[in-house]
Amino acid sequence: MGDEQEDGRIQEDAKEDSEAEVEPERLQYKVILLGDGTVGKTSIATRFAQGDFSQMYKQTIGLDFFVKRILLPGDVQVTMQIWDIGGQSIGSKMMSKYIFGAHAVIMCYDITNYDSFQDLDDWYRLVVKTFEKGVMPYVAMVGNKCDLSHMRAVRTTSAHQFADDNNMYTFFMSAKSGDQVDACFHRIAGHLSGIALSRPQLDAAGGVLSASIVNYRRHDEEVHGGELPDYTSRRPKTCTLS
């Protein structure tokens, strides 16, 4: 009888240890930022990944990388690798390699620049061509610089119509103020992970977060045919974003 009780305690202790050792689920997604130069792609990526905004414009040549890790409900850790592609690269032979393997594509325009909105048609056709033999990624359209709404040149109805015609999700944000930037990326991460986020959870995304920052690389370094480098196993560097 004593042996049976001892065996029961051992099994129960082993079960508790096993449950304690269960690690959170880790996911990793490649997210592409596309759009004309000066629409604010780098500012969006910097705001999301580093919680920062620079008043100085610096053209992106080739592409830059930004990485941030976020925590979703259910203790799901998601690594978002942001590929910031220069606006002049639309005719580049490397473009298909940049886009290939993307889980999500964010097409950006400047709400004060109507031409940048019209050019989204060319960017979208490029995405469709890249994935014509595969599964289309999650595609979102972002209207940036909403802090300049008094200078708006693109009607929201036009943006919604374009998005509806091409089965896209629509977001409006300001990289300068940070308004809706985190909410946008959290919604995308939730969609890719199969986790529905409530409005309060999205609103909370703009609060203080523990984020992992990985220094980005410039000019096509570590681009292996569009493959996604594995950052999930690296020890995070923690900072506080507000």
Per-residue pLDDT for 113 more than 90?
yes
Determine, yes or no, domain membership for 39: yes
Q: How far is CA 241 from CA 188, 205, 234, in A?
A: 19, 10, 20
What whole-number percentage of the chain has pLDDT above 90? 53
Question: Do the domain assignments include residue 192?
Answer: yes
pLDDT at 224 exceeding the cut of 70: no
User: Which one is predicted more confidently, 200 or 7?
Assistant: 200
Domain assignment present for residue 88? The answer is yes
7 part of a folded domain: no
Q: How far apart are the C-alpha atoms of 127 and 140, rounded to whole Å?
A: 12
Q: Does residue 2 belong to any structural domain of this protein?
A: no
pLDDT digits (tens, 9 = 90+) for 172-217: 999 999 999 999 999 999 999 999 888 888 777 654 333 333 333 3
Question: Does residue 2 register a pLDDT over 60?
Answer: no
Residue 15 domain flag: no
Domain membership of residue 6 (yes or no) is no
> Does residue 159 lie within any of the structural domains?
yes
3-state secondary structure the chain: CHHHHHHHHHHHHHHHHHHHCCCCEEEEEEEEEECCCCCCHHHHHHHHHHCCCCCCCCCCCCEEEEEEEEEECCCEEEEEEEEEECHHHHHCCCHHHHHCCCCEEEEEEECCCHHHHHCHHHHHHHHHHHCCCCCCCEEEEEEECHHHHHHCCCCHHHHHHHHHHCCCEEEECCCCCCCCHHHHHHHHHHHHHCCCCCHHHHHHCCCCEEEECECCCECCCCCCCCCCCCCCCCCCCEEEEC
Q: Is the pLDDT of residue 19 over 90?
A: no
Per-residue model confidence as pLDDT tens digits over 24-63? 689 999 999 999 989 999 999 999 998 877 665 566 556 8
Domain coverage including residue 32: 23-241
- In the chain, pLDDT over 70 holds for what percent of residues? 69
* CATH number of the domain residue 170 falls in: 3.40.50.300
- Which residues make Cβ contacts (< 8 Å) with residue 88, sequence separation at least 6? 37, 59, 61
Mean predicted lDDT score pLDDT of the chain: 79
For the chain, how many structural domains are there in total? 1
pTM: 0.75
